[in-house]
Amino acid sequence: MTDDHSVDDRVPPRNGLDLSRRDTLKGGAVVAAAALTGAAPGPAAAATDVAPLPSAPRHGLRLQTTVNGTAVSVDIDTRTSLLDLLRERLALTGAKKGCDHGQCGACTVHVDGRRVASCLTLAAKLEGREVLTIEGLSEPGTLHPMQQAFIDHDALQCGYCTPGQIMAAVACVAEGNATSPERIREYMSGNICRCGAYVGIVAAIEDAAATMGRG
Amino acid sequence: MIPASFPDRARIDARDKVLGVARFSADVPVTGVLYAMMVPARIAKGTLTGLDTAAALRVPGVVRVLTEADFPAPPPVIENGPPPPPPTLEREIAYRGQPVALVVAETLEAAIEGAAAVVCTYAAAPFAALIDSEGGVREMGEEIVFGDAEATLASAAVVVEGEFLSPTQHHNPIELLATTAVWEAGRLTLHEATQGAGGTRGMTARALGIDPGVVDVKSPYVGGGFGQKGGLGQRQTALIAHASMLLGRPVKLVTPRGQIFHLATYRPLSRHRIRLGATAEGRMVAMQYDAEQEQSRHGIFPSAEYHETTSRMYGIANYLGTSADVRIDRQPPGWMRAPHPQASGFAMESMVDELAYRLGQDPVALRLANTGDVDFRTGQPFSSNHLNACLEEGARRFGWSSRTAEPGSMTADDGSLVGWGVACGSYPSMMVPAVATLRIGADGSTRYAASGHEMGQGIRTAIASVLLESLEIDPERLEILIGDTTAAPQHITAGSWGSAGAVPVAMRAAARMREAVAELLDGREIAGNLHRRLATVRRPFLEIEVSEVGPGQGQDVLQALQYGAPAVAGPAYPTFTTMSYIAHFVEVRVEPTTRRVRVPRVVSIVDCGRVISPRTAESQVRGGVVWAIGAALREATEVDPRYGGYLNNDLADYVVAVNADIGAIDVGFIDQPDPLANSAGLKGLGEVAMVGASPAIANAIFHATGRRLHELPIRIEHLL
Amino acid sequence: MHPFDYIRPATPQDAVAAFANAEAGARYIAGGTTLYDLMKLDIERPPLLIDVTAIAGLGEVDIGDERLRVGALVPMSTIAADPDIGRDYPVLAESLAKAASQQLRNMATVGGNLLQRTRCMYFRNGADGAFPCNKRQPGSGCAAIDGLDRGQAVLGTSASCTAVSPGDWPVALTALDASVEIVGPAGARRMLVADLYRLPGDTPHLEFSLTPGELITGIEIPRPAAGSGSTYHKIRDRESYAFALASAAVVVQRDGDLVSRARIALGGVATRPWRATEAEDLLVGQPLTIETALAAGRAAFSTATPGHHNGFKLELGARTVADALLIAAERSRT
């Protein structure tokens, strides 16, 4: 490996995937997309490479972080937001861009267990931290109780803000802020639903909070 | 045959949406993609005199900067033909925020930096940014006249009059405008966030002078449209398509929200002067209504449609309606949820409320006494009108009978003023042609392809509801292909005609399929579902194609559909008129000191004919009410006339409703099929859901405070 | 966005040294909810970001008998949810709970929040040079003064700038006479929060009384007298997730039915967190009724200068103060 974007063999194997096998790649970092997205890893699981940076930015760094339980090592432009890292480099498109300024909540993910706006989070700040996205919320083939409750209460319409709503809602329950409809409304106000599914969202969170034992 | 009521069924695509795997336009994975960013003009009018791209091209990763010189000349205007496609890049600046260059780079970060590094010089020209600005050109629209309004008003026992204002508002779906163009092996594929894949194909091909036959547009999920992603195509689409063709690589643009405010359409500011006359007993007999709106220099958003519902909601026999455009230097306005009736309904239903107070009548009773069966505008009957049933059911659920009429007469325990208001809404129920193919496989699969765009209203669920009710097929393997020009011709989905364009044709497809199966089996009794039966007779699959047109439409409209052109029938069909109706009952609380307004509960009862998908329909009505709360109390886009453009161009300063703003919203349906409008007995829903809820809030505020407010949004400063 | 280098020092000393060695315009960054936002708008263009979040020892909360000390890196959400602070310093907890959204409160720190920059739309939108702004480009003029000024300040304005100081937390801290701990190239020092903010005057681009390279490391808040009642009352264009049209942080001490001391600070209406001493003085020795509360509220705005569209803030602000006083009085005991 001679260039700056060489494969990082230090990535520890996770979920049974031997990432060091990906050394045929010409550049970029490597993770197992199957592991990132929660798909069942198996002998045939496709370990997709992360797109390398196509041109060297003037100011870059190597980021080592954990996404949905899988170690990720990736070269980034220092300007990159966590949201753009997830969507454009790691093929995790569940978190959505709705404003890019922390004003809508569609990009909500968890960092070290707390909900944040990934669009206003510098990816560089993720060094050594753990990111959880909608793709890693539930085990493959299953639904998190919050996801099921969103279906049951039709707590969505177009679905665009929904991953962010659900990540915020899961955190809302975990924080102990899902104890009444009024409190849920207040603590879910950082997630705009332009379709106007708020009534269903509050009902879904009340329902899921009971299931999750935190209501 | 009009079906019996449909069962409650979960949203068919909810699972994909809650898992985050529903693929919106910007989510489509494309290898080797380049990122684009537009450079917006910073003047409101004038000429681009210089464009220095040197610094932008020095940004590492920037591949190319496209300018006006890179694009073909606009296509010739066709006299009486379809509207021209949006322009590409031009040196003449018609509005602030118009794109003047397109930077394409290997990374998003480089594209953004490159766009900021393009240096533009301009020769600025005088401009008019507001409806009252010097330089605006006033143009009268079509007059709507029936009966003799002037004479009747002159002799009416009671006349109320007032002028109302609805502000500029932007749709702001949470999904940003997004285009990914892939030019490969002579075909151009556009992954576009659009409500009109067919129109996008036609517009893009015309703008670039290429054969629409080589263009495919895919928009299977739209992250909220509300009209913004509709009709006339986005200006960015051809830019990105062209960039991909020039560079031979896929190109992606996700437009920043601040730019979208300046590029996409919007609800224009409008003014409404109404004189409404009634008999002493409260029979509305005449109305004079002058509407005017802000309009771009070449915009086509029609001003006369402010009369579409006001002329039909009540049985007013004498009507004089005028309308005007004031042409100014902004980007074109367009259709935004409940386009005209949101504004005209605020004016009219405020006046009806005032009439009730003037007459000393209950506002519900006054309305009940004025609905009618005849469309005086055409002289023909309504195919159905259950507005009175909506009012009666709403009043019952809301507990209206315990209301005291006097403004300020009801208070809450915390001292808040309580206001109860009512208002009605109506909206044209229209229909569009459709072509559908249905293929059922012996392997257990079902593939249905038709026109339609899923943007949250639940059209995919409504289609599934029909197919699963009518056909014994495996729901797990039902694939519904919509919003995809490679699957079926795509009509724009808007104007509440989505269900009318999707459901009758799906019913026809199911019926035709049942016939085809019967023909195939020829009397043989075979157990199991349709897949099983096909397998038993060793038939790999059965496929049928059907089409549907609206009442009064000929088969020629199917030709228009192939070209992606709008082909809308109604609401005035050859022998009847079809409208959807709603009654909203609203409680407001006005905080005693600081005069904060809250809306703790709303009851909304709808006549949309037969309800096809109860669960998504209920959600859609709630969404309409949320929109109306936003429109009534918060939303206005602000233009500084010295600079043009929009100052509050983000979601912090353009204030939409958040969760804490919304209380209980109780939704009910009359669920009586319309006997004439279409084979499903359905009427449109998405728009009417919003209509009337804003004036219901304004009327409730009057009831709480005694203040009749004539301008939206009603903000805290208006109540201090 | 302008390109930048990024470093993450481990001590305050390393951070200060990195700043001293950097080219002009370097910035400390913690949560980044203001700075990264403004960088996306091209308003901020630092060549170097010094991420201070790896510095140990700045994340402590210490509730003492005499005072509360909060490390600069404590997230806003932590203070908002702390039950002890909610009990003893409700004005603090409420000011944070009513700010931004939970996502942003998890990211933003109580130190960084002190340096939040204005939301003036002419400031935020003008990176391409479309609008003049003395704050963004000194000497260019102010588009807001004769423009769409509904959100602009009515107190502490100048002929150069009417931009509102947007924070809630600094307003609460100002009411409580809190101070900040600072380290910098010249060593450590301490300053009242109220002194951290400059009036715009002729130099609205100079917003804070920090010298280049100074870093806020902690906040110290004296405990209000026993029996005091306090609240943060915030009126917005919607019920949550919005900046204040008007807000009031108040702390009320009573002696019997009469006010012995009142502290009042205003947000959403002034160019800096605004201590309303006229209103405070007026209340001493008075009972708290809606009349005296409103009189105090009006006194708080006696020197206010409305613009074209923000005159309502005088009356709204006065009523907000009045409601806040009555809520705080209700919570106080003698």
pLDDT of B253-280, one tens digit each? 999 999 999 999 999 999 999 999 999 9
Residue A31 has pLDDT above 60, yes or no: no
Residue B319 has pLDDT above 70, yes or no: yes
C6 touches A at CB < 8 Å: yes
Subunits next to C (3 or more Cβ pairs <8 Å) are A, B
Verify whether the Cβ–Cβ distance B224 to A133 is below 8 Å.
no
Q: Which residues of C touch A78 (CB under 8 A)?
A: 3-6, 49
Residue B42 has pLDDT above 90, yes or no: yes
Where among B263, B291, B319 does a domain terminate?
B263
For tokens 């990024």, the residue is: C6
In a domain, residue A1? The reply is: no
Residue B477 makes CB contacts below 8 A (sequence gap 6+) with B444, B445, B446
Q: Which two tokens stand for residue B189?
A: 């594929």
- Indicate the number of domains in chain B: 3
User: Which of C121, C149, C326 would you mutate first to test chain B, the one with the most B CBs within 10 A?
Assistant: C121
Verify whether the Cβ–Cβ distance B664 to A199 is below 8 Å.
yes
Range C239-257 average pLDDT: 97
ipTM of the complex: 0.98
Place B93 in a pLDDT band, splitting at 50, 70 and 90: very high
Range B608-619 average pLDDT: 97
In a domain, residue A128? The reply is: yes
Strands (E), B498-550: 541-548
**Is there a single domain that holds both residue A96 and residue A189?**
no
Q: What value does the mean pLDDT of chain C take?
A: 97
**Is there a single domain that holds both residue A43 and residue A122?**
yes
Place A37 in a pLDDT band, splitting at 50, 70 and 90: low
Residue B231 has pLDDT above 80, yes or no: no
pLDDT at A56: 75
Residue C224 makes CB contacts below 8 A (sequence gap 6+) with C89, C176, C230, C251, C253
pLDDT at A2: 35
Where among B202, B230, B263 does a domain terminate?
B263
In a domain, residue A10? The reply is: no
Verify whether the Cβ–Cβ distance A190 to C51 is below 8 Å.
no
Verify whether the Cβ–Cβ distance C238 to B643 is below 8 Å.
no
Q: Which residues of B touch A93 (CB under 8 A)?
A: 20, 23-24, 26-27, 29
In a domain, residue B421? The reply is: yes
Nearest-by-Cβ selection for B17 from A99, A133, A156: A156
pLDDT at A41: 39
Q: Which residues of A touch B226 (CB under 8 A)?
A: 194
Tens of pLDDT, residue by residue over B441-454, are 999 999 999 999 99
pLDDT at A127: 97
Q: Which residues of B touch A184 (CB under 8 A)?
A: 659
**Is there a single domain that holds both residue B374 and residue B462?**
no
**Whole-number Å distance between alpha carbons of C281 and C304:** 17
pLDDT at A6: 34
Verify whether the Cβ–Cβ distance B15 to A151 is below 8 Å.
yes
Length of chain C: 334
Residue B662 has pLDDT above 50, yes or no: yes
In a domain, residue B198? The reply is: yes
H-assigned helices in B169-221: 197-208
- Indicate the number of domains in chain A: 2
User: Which of A78, A111, A193 would you mutate first to test chain C, the one with the most C CBs within 10 A?
Assistant: A78
Where among A136, A165, A194 does a domain terminate?
A136
Nearest in space to B551 (alpha carbons), one of B572, B566, B534, B530: B572
Which amino acid belongs to residue C206? L
Domains and CATH numbers, chain C: 5-52 (3.30.43.10), 61-115+165-222 (3.30.465.10), 229-331 (3.30.390.50)
Nearest in space to B100 (alpha carbons), one of B236, B201, B300: B236
Verify whether the Cβ–Cβ distance A196 to B623 is below 8 Å.
yes
pLDDT at A129: 98
**Is there a single domain that holds both residue A26 and residue A132?**
yes
Place A36 in a pLDDT band, splitting at 50, 70 and 90: low
Residue A209 φ/ψ, nearest 5 degrees? -60, -40
Residue C69 φ/ψ, nearest 5 degrees? -120, 130
Bridge partners (DSSP) listed for residue C321: none
Range A6-31 average pLDDT: 35
Rg (CA), chain B: 26
Q: Which two tokens stand for residue B391?
A: 């009012």
In a domain, residue A5? The reply is: no
**Is there a single domain that holds both residue B92 and residue B203?**
yes
Q: Is B534 helix (H, G, I), strand (E, B) or coil?
A: helix
Domain that holds residue B460: 431-562
pLDDT at C334: 73
Nearest-by-Cβ selection for C32 from A108, A115, A120: A120
Q: What percent of chain C has pLDDT over 70?
A: 100
Alpha-carbon gap: A105 to the closest alpha carbon of chain B (Å)? 10
pLDDT at C285: 97
Residue A1 has pLDDT above 80, yes or no: no
Nearest in space to B592 (alpha carbons), one of C326, A84, A92: C326
Verify whether the Cβ–Cβ distance A78 to C5 is below 8 Å.
yes
Which amino acid belongs to residue A194? R
Q: What percent of chain A has pLDDT over 90?
A: 72
Verify whether the Cβ–Cβ distance B643 to C235 is below 8 Å.
no
For tokens 């009523």, the residue is: C319
Q: Check residue B674 and report its DSSP letter.
A: -
Verify whether the Cβ–Cβ distance B10 to A84 is below 8 Å.
no
Q: What percent of chain C has pLDDT over 90?
A: 98
CATH at B620 = 3.30.365.10
Higher-pLDDT residue of A48 and A36 is A36
In a domain, residue B450? The reply is: yes
In a domain, residue A6? The reply is: no
**Is there a single domain that holds both residue A32 and residue A128?**
yes
CATH at A43 = 3.10.20.30
**Whole-number Å distance between alpha carbons of B717 and C22:** 48
H-assigned helices in B539-674: 557-562, 614-633
Verify whether the Cβ–Cβ distance A59 to C4 is below 8 Å.
yes
Nearest-by-Cβ selection for C237 from B96, B598, B655: B655
Q: Under a CB-based contact definition with an 8 Å cutoff, are residues B212 and B563 in contact?
A: yes
Place A19 in a pLDDT band, splitting at 50, 70 and 90: very low
Tens of pLDDT, residue by residue over B403-447, are 999 999 999 999 999 999 999 999 999 999 999 999 999 999 999
pLDDT at A12: 35
Q: Under a CB-based contact definition with an 8 Å cutoff, are residues B251 and B32 in contact?
A: no
Q: How are beta strands B62-66 and B99-105 bridged, if at all? A: antiparallel
**Is there a single domain that holds both residue A207 and residue A131?**
no
Task: List the C274-275 sheet strands across, edge first.
Answer: C229-236, C244-255, C258-267, C274-275
Bridge partners (DSSP) listed for residue B204: none
Verify whether the Cβ–Cβ distance A157 to B458 is below 8 Å.
yes
Nearest-by-Cβ selection for A100 from C6, C40, C102: C40
Nearest-by-Cβ selection for B665 from A151, A163, A199: A199
**Is there a single domain that holds both residue B424 and residue B464?**
no
In a domain, residue B152? The reply is: no
Residue C38 has pLDDT above 70, yes or no: yes
B666 touches A at CB < 8 Å: no
Verify whether the Cβ–Cβ distance A54 to B106 is below 8 Å.
yes
Q: What value does the mean pLDDT of chain B take?
A: 97
**Whole-number Å distance between alpha carbons of B527 and B507:** 23
Residue A26 has pLDDT above 50, yes or no: no
Where among B536, B562, B588 does a domain terminate?
B562
Range B307-332 average pLDDT: 97
Q: What percent of chain B has pLDDT over 70?
A: 100
**Is there a single domain that holds both residue B329 and residue B436?**
no
**Is there a single domain that holds both residue B317 and residue B389?**
yes
**Is there a single domain that holds both residue A104 and residue A197?**
no
Tens of pLDDT, residue by residue over A51-72, are 678 777 789 999 999 999 999 9
**Whole-number Å distance between alpha carbons of B679 and B662:** 36
Domain that holds residue A84: 19-136
B27 touches A at CB < 8 Å: yes
Residue A7 has pLDDT above 50, yes or no: no
A120 touches C at CB < 8 Å: yes
Residue B355 has pLDDT above 60, yes or no: yes
Q: Under a CB-based contact definition with an 8 Å cutoff, are residues B701 and B719 in contact?
A: yes
**Is there a single domain that holds both residue B251 and residue B284?**
no
**Is there a single domain that holds both residue A157 and residue A116?**
no
Verify whether the Cβ–Cβ distance C130 to B645 is below 8 Å.
yes
Nearest-by-Cβ selection for B107 from A54, A91, A195: A54
Residue C173 φ/ψ, nearest 5 degrees? -65, -35
**Is there a single domain that holds both residue A105 and residue A190?**
no
Verify whether the Cβ–Cβ distance C107 to A122 is below 8 Å.
no
Question: Residue B645's CB: how many other CB atoms inside 10 A?
Answer: 25
Nearest-by-Cβ selection for B593 from C127, C241, C323: C323
Residue A13 has pLDDT above 80, yes or no: no
Residue A30 has pLDDT above 50, yes or no: no
Residue B290 makes CB contacts below 8 A (sequence gap 6+) with B272, B273, B321, B322, B323, B324
**Whole-number Å distance between alpha carbons of A121 and C33:** 8
Alpha-carbon gap: A106 to the closest alpha carbon of chain B (Å)? 8
pLDDT at A42: 36
CATH at B35 = 3.90.1170.50
**Whole-number Å distance between alpha carbons of C102 and B527:** 57
Subunits next to A (3 or more Cβ pairs <8 Å) are B, C
**Is there a single domain that holds both residue A122 and residue A160?**
no
pLDDT at A25: 33
Nearest-by-Cβ selection for A198 from B256, B454, B626: B626
Tens of pLDDT, residue by residue over B632-660, are 999 999 999 999 999 999 999 999 999 99
**Is there a single domain that holds both residue A123 and residue A30?**
yes
Q: Is the peptide bond before B713 cis (omega within 30 degrees of 0)?
A: yes
